[in-house]
Structure 1
Amino acid sequence: MNARDEATTTPLHVQSGSEFHRVLHEAAITWNLNPKVSDRSWVAELDIASDIRLADYFCRQEGLEPTGERSTPPVPTVISHSDPTAVVRDLAADRVDLGATGYKTTGAISESLAIEDQSVSHPVATAGSAFVVSPPIIDSGVTSLRAEELRDIYAGKITNWKEVGGPDREIRVIAGPDANPPRWLMDTFFNGVPEAGVDERRGREATRVNRIESRNDAVGEVPVGFAVYDTPVLDISVDGTRFSVNETGYPATVDLACYSWGEPNPQERAFVSYLQSPAGQRYVDRYRDFLPLNWQADS
């Protein structure tokens, strides 16, 4: 039997090498507090009738003994931060229990380290970017663009909306600060091509969205969680298949996951179940960089 499978009060160690670290940190604070589910209206969300404590509830589902005590979860959890490569090394060496590597998959990192990838993915959120456009552009019928068209707009090769089926109007590309779009998006979606088509930059996401919505000719990129609330977001087509921003396959987004090395043990399953539940997803939804699991436009 693996030592990690034995009943223990040794803290569950979750190591993050990603932007998701702050979500894990806040979720773990509540887990370790082990409040009653009624304290924050989780009773209805978790569909339970009893007033059990939060960590107790998820641990009991995995056959672990509840403590019934505040600030004493059955499985105390520690969150640490490191770079994605170190996360995979520590997972493979059994130095940590769960790991998050952000935009980089454990498979790609394992290959670079010549380590046999034994990771198991447990999705917890969606991250990335969405493309917001001025409402008159949507009204004109431009509700979707091909990925190649968006790349050409940002590269300055397409400069008028009529070239993509819209009105005869110059395209205004509104981007964030110099480090925006994020490096992950530049390297993957934009293939590292310089943003020669950017017309202006706005630092704050809310300012960027307001600027785009106030015009009749603009497009811009914002974090995916920031874009989905009452904002005109473009669908993107890839190889003839159209994806909305909350669908798997939207090419400017990526699934974020916590990984176990091999199938998770009961302690790991309990914490992952918490992260994936409405109780844990509250912390995902708090940050506009991310979309919660099962996000719906009418939620």
Structure 2
Amino acid sequence: MRQQFLTLLALSLSVGWGLSACNQNSANLESNKLTLTGSSTVAPLASEIAKKFEAEHPGVRIDVQTGGSSRGLADATQGLADIGMISRALKDSETEQFQSYAIAQDGIGIILESSNPVQSLSNQQVVDIYQGKINNWQEVGGEDAPITVVNKAEGRSTLELFLKYFQLTNSQIQADVIIGDNQQGIKTVSGNQNAIGYVSIGAAERDISAGVPLKLLSVGGVEASTETLQDGSFPLSRPLTLVTKETPSGLTKEFIEFAQSENVHDLVEAQNFVPISPQKLVQVP
């Protein structure tokens, strides 16, 4: 009887050690993977940073997915992503739920198709266009043509910041087209001489440089450009931010520190964003 007991105990310990080793191996495998989800503005930059990080850390795999800032926050909360990406700062109501780390500075610019003769709009004219009070370009110095108003979908940080700056609510906007990410907005406006929209300045500048028929209008009388973002004069700016549910550790911490380092400033600038100055960085503890 005693011998049977000892045999069963030995088998039990053996299975336990086997499962423990299995679990440890799984944990080690998982530690070499990171998933980032969220803002379509942050995603192209995060993807480039991820490629550089992977090149310096053989065996590490980083998956970057879009879906909007709201998805980034939701996935970080539910554990579906190691890191959420949002194209804004955290709201006061969110600061106790998340840790946030800015990796670049961007702005939101008003865009028109490049052949549209309108060169500038006042803030009030933008508000009136989006509320449907001005619905023909002739009323703001353009041609006699109806204005196609392009608005962002709910859950996009670009929408939230646009509404906040122009003191609008989404229910006030009379939109003809609802778009999701920056590329949808750029494609819609660049393909319609009578359209107006708003997107990331960095995204717009990249496409303009590539020959896309698009132009950025000034906001509040300040030119929308990387330069005015750099000197702090552009009024509609925002940080591009990585967020986590808990204080980052392990590979997550290592990646965020890399994304905030000078090693990636060339990637930030290549995306027409502005690196965060060291004095303004909130670093991982």
Q: Which TM bucket (shorter chain)?
A: 0.5 to 0.7
Do 1:173 and 1:220's aligned partners in 2 also have CA atoms closer than 8 Å? yes
What CA distance in whole angstroms lies between the structure 2 residues aligned with 1:206 and 1:77? 31
Matches within 5 A, 1:1-299: 10-11=31-32, 13=34, 15-19=36-40, 20-21=42-43, 23-25=45-47, 27-32=49-54, 34=55, 55=56, 71=58, 76=60, 78-79=62-63, 83-87=72-76, 96=82, 99-103=83-87, 105-108=89-92, 110-111=94-95, 115=97, 119-124=99-104, 126=106, 128=108, 130-133=110-113, 135=115, 137-138=117-118, 143-161=119-137, 163-164=139-140, 166=141, 169-175=143-149, 180-183=151-154, 184=156, 185-190=158-163, 191-196=169-174, 198=176, 205-206=186-187, 208-212=189-193, 218-221=194-197, 223-224=199-200, 225-228=202-205, 229=208, 231-237=214-220, 242-246=222-226, 247-248=228-229, 249-251=234-236, 254-259=238-243, 261=247, 268-273=256-261, 276-279=264-267, 285=271, 291-293=272-274
Following the alignment from structure 1 to structure 2, what is the Cα–Cα distance between the partners of residues 136 and 232? 9
Report how many residues are paired. 214
d(CA) in 2 for partners of 1:275 and 1:84? 26
The alpha carbon displacement at 1:156 in A equals 1.7
Contact 1:175 1:208 in 2 (8 A): no
Distance 2:137 2:43 in 1: 39
CA distance in 1, matches of 2:51, 2:190: 32
Inter-CA distance 186–79: structure 2 relative to 1 (3 Å threshold): closer
For 2:53, give the aligned amino acid. Answer: W
Question: Residue 137 of structure 1: SS of its match in structure 2?
Answer: coil
SS across alignment from 2:76: helix
TM-score by structure 1 length? Answer: 0.52
Higher-Rg structure is 2
Residues 85, 109 of structure 1: 8 Å contact kept: no
Point out where structure 2 has 5 or more consecutive residues left out of the alignment: 1-27, 66-70, 164-168, 276-285
TM-score by length of 2: 0.54
Once residues 93 and 32 of structure 2 are traced to their aligned partners in structure 1, the CA distance between those partners, rounded to angstroms, is 26
Q: CA deviation at 1:130?
A: 3.0
- CA distance in structure 1 between the partners assigned to 2:87 and 2:122 by the alignment: 23
Deviation at 1:126, TM superposition (A): 2.9
CA distance 1:206–1:189, change in 2 (3 Å) = closer
Superposed displacement of residue 235, structure 1: 0.6
1:274, distance to aligned residue in structure 2 (A): 6.7
Q: Distance in 2 between matches of 1:84 and 1:21?
A: 14
Question: Given that residues 106 and 273 in structure 2 are in contact (C-alpha distance below 8 angstroms), is that contact kept between their aligned partners in structure 1?
Answer: yes
- For residues 123-144 of structure 1, what are the alpha-carbon distances to aligned partners after superposition, in whole Å with 9 as ceiling and x for unaligned? 2353755321554624xxxx33
Answer whether contact 2:185 2:199 (CA < 8 A) is retained: no
**Distance in 2 separating the partners of 1:197 and 1:13:** 38
Cα separation, 1, equivalents of 2:215 and 2:88: 29
Shift of 1:153: 1.0
1:259 is displaced (CA, Å) by: 4.4
Q: Which moved more, 1:151-160 or 1:185-194?
A: 185-194
Q: Give the counterpart letter for 2:264 in structure 1.
A: Q
CA RMSD of aligned residues (A): 4.5
